[in-house]
Amino acid sequence: MGRVRPLNRGVRDRQVLDPPGGSYPYMLERQISATSTGVRLSYTAHATDVSVPFLWAAHPQFSAPPGTRVVIDGVTSVVDVLAIPADRMVWDDAASSIDSVAFGACRKFYVDPEHVSTRAQLIRRDAVLKLNWASGCPFLGVWFDHSAFAREPVIALEPTNGYFDSLKDASDNGLVAELVPGEPLSWWIDVSVSRKGPAGEER
């Protein structure tokens, strides 16, 4: 994707960015707006000339102190995409916790591509972060970094429209979006945070 070029199109709680695609002829627009519980990030992608394969993924990294874990509704298995070859494994309390990753190491999972994911939670001892997103991003990656690259332990929740990390892999898997001229793709992500009380209740 090309450089982000902010446009002067902000209206109260909205900001619109409109960067051009670099390797392929497309445009990507992002709009950020306030909601009653947090923020919504809305996206629209347009092919500007010819049809092109299109892989988009969010990569927000969140601080993950000891005890932080990820909850994904209805998920019982994930794919370890850093393993060679990629390997399916059970998604349980151990796999979903930053505590299962050794210091200086990292892990990357994808929810089994047969399972459509549209929500996930990052649960810390002091707060709960919730992500909900459009079904136009049916796949979900989860990145655990225990100070391998980041300065502190972090977890990234990565809704995406392709499976998995590279456009080539997603295209080879037949699991990637396509931008067609005159048929824009639109999707959104809602982000909200709630604090936890002394008894662990959300506030």
- 66 within 8 A of 114, measured Cβ to Cβ: no
The tens-digit pLDDT sequence of the chain (203 residues) is 333 344 344 444 555 556 666 677 888 888 999 999 999 999 999 898 899 999 999 999 999 999 999 999 999 999 999 998 889 999 999 999 999 999 999 999 999 999 999 999 999 999 999 999 999 999 999 999 999 999 999 999 999 999 988 899 999 999 999 999 999 999 999 999 998 766 566 66
| Strands 38-47, 153-160: pairing kind | unpaired
Question: Which residue, among 41, 45, 6, has the nearest Cα to 25 in the 3D structure?
Answer: 45
Q: Which value, to the nearest 10 degrees, does the dihedral of the CA atoms of residues 131, 109, 125, 32 take?
A: -20
DSSP 67: T
Q: Tell me, what's the pLDDT at 164?
A: 86
Residue 120, both tokens: 């996930």
- Residue 161's DSSP bridge partners are none
DSSP states along 115-179 = S---EEEEE-SSEEEEEEE-TTS-EEEEEEEESSSSSSEEEEEEEESSSSSSHHHHHHHT--EEE
Q: Tell me, what's the pLDDT at 2?
A: 37
User: 28: buried, middle or exposed (CB in 10 Å: 19+, 13-18, 0-12)?
Assistant: buried
Which domains occur in the chain, in start order? 15-195 (2.70.98.10)
pTM of the model: 0.86
